[in-house]
Structure 1
């Protein structure tokens, strides 16, 4: 195998922060639009949200002529299948990732991890990431919880000397455009004082992030089989976020 895959996780201990949605959106954009080879390890037991999403996506793609045609046209154009979604656990996550990367070339392996650092197997998985990106929102409880989480990653896991972590970042998610910018400035000063890196791109609070394949055949945004539809991508900042991640990781922007 010629490629050295990047192990990356959108990770936080706050439920509902959007880590699973961001994993799917960025993985699909990199795989289907940017031409990278991607895999996803879903070890967020017991829900396994991404593995369940893949099952729903496949069922609809196989049973609905509209999505069947979309999948065929995409495969014909790209000559590549959907990326693998491996249902795993925190105990087996790294072994499963090493196994599939030993069988085929991947550029990125995304991990959907449980939101806790109290479990030794979660700590082991986190310590084997190359990059960790934690979504945050302008909510004091969410922000304080995520900052404590990142302190553990940076001051405990990263500094043990046995970690492969090369970078940790925060990203604003579910940003309400009606909120005063002064609020974000205050929070960003706190983030800077703690020495954490914050991505320039932010993700807006938008219902489009929940739009999956449906019998109504509306443009799809969140899918494991298709990238976000071009009619919905503008203003979502998914394209900008993906470009910023590629730049930080010093990977070519193939778009």
Structure 2
């Protein structure tokens, strides 16, 4: 990659997994694939990713197991933790540009964690700069309707010139293996009728995606801003496949 690519997992419905997907994609691509990333937490006022980074830092101090994971990863990869920038949407792009200009190493991907409210001038200004918006969607009526409404709003803005997002994809998240595959095919046919593209990778509903470090439990970690997803937990998560598909789309 030559110029940084700007990407957001975004939707207006809480619980669809956008913050978790942002962290996991950033950590996997940075610590495992070696791409330089910047994560921008614009989800004011909760700043979930900033809070996660602070929890990770606390674990280094109080959990010998997590501290060893962190030290081993630093020794193996020679990588300091990727930067997490917290900024309100209206200030985010200015601060991102400053970081990119001041950074000695080129940044490959900037991930944005956006608030759910799109009718915000700051959010619109960020959307205007994005190379790709990924809308997590689940086979749950509330999440499905909310995510579809969000995607159609962005698509409406695209057709009217209010935003210039380069690409937008729906992403199946929280997929239950017991559900019939034709259910997703039927939903995707509806997406296609609306002119919406869907990523091929489907993310399963697995507790691994929520496994963070623990102050009391000596266990492998999957979701963290300071260490990569544990290799022993990767099987069946479809995270490597998601990373491959994401990079393939961005490099088209």
Q: Deviations over 1:191-239 (max 9, x none)?
A: 1111111000011111111100113121101000111111111000011
CA RMSD of aligned residues (A): 1.6
1:174 aligns with 2:174: yes
User: 1:1-255 counterparts in 2 under 5 A?
Assistant: 3-104=2-103, 105-156=106-157, 158-161=158-161, 163-215=163-215, 216-250=217-251
What's the TM-score once normalised by structure 2's chain length? 0.94
For 1:162 and 1:121, the matched residues in 2 are separated by 13
Write the distance in 2 (CA, Å) between the matches of 1:238 and 1:24.
Answer: 11
What is the Cα deviation at residue 40 of structure 1?
Answer: 0.5
Matches of 1:60 and 1:96, distance apart in 2: 28
TM-score (norm 1): 0.93
- Displacement of 1:83 after TM fit? 0.4
1:61-115 CA distances to partner (integer Å, 9 max, x unpaired)? 2333222222222112111111011111111111121111111121011100001
**Would you say the 8 A contact 2:56–2:226 is kept in 1?**
yes
Q: CA deviation at 1:248?
A: 1.1
Q: Give the paired residue count.
A: 249
8 Å contact from structure 2 (residues 22, 111) kept in 1: yes
- 1:172-207 deviations in whole A, cap 9, x for unaligned? 000011112232121111011111110000111111
Distance in 2 of aligned mates of 1:6 and 1:85? 16
Question: Post-superposition shift, 1:154?
Answer: 1.8
Cα distance in structure 2, aligned partners of 1:98 and 1:162:
22
What is the DSSP-based 3-state SS (H/G/I as helix, E as strand, rest coil) of the residue aligned with 1:114? coil
Could you list the runs of 5+ residues in structure 2 that have no partner in the other structure? none
Q: Distance in 2 between matches of 1:3 and 1:243?
A: 18
In structure 2, C-alpha distance between the alignment counterparts of 1:196 and 1:162, rounded to whole Å? 18
39-48 vs 123-132, which moves further: 123-132
Deviations 1:10-38 (A, max 9, x none): 00011110000000000000000000011
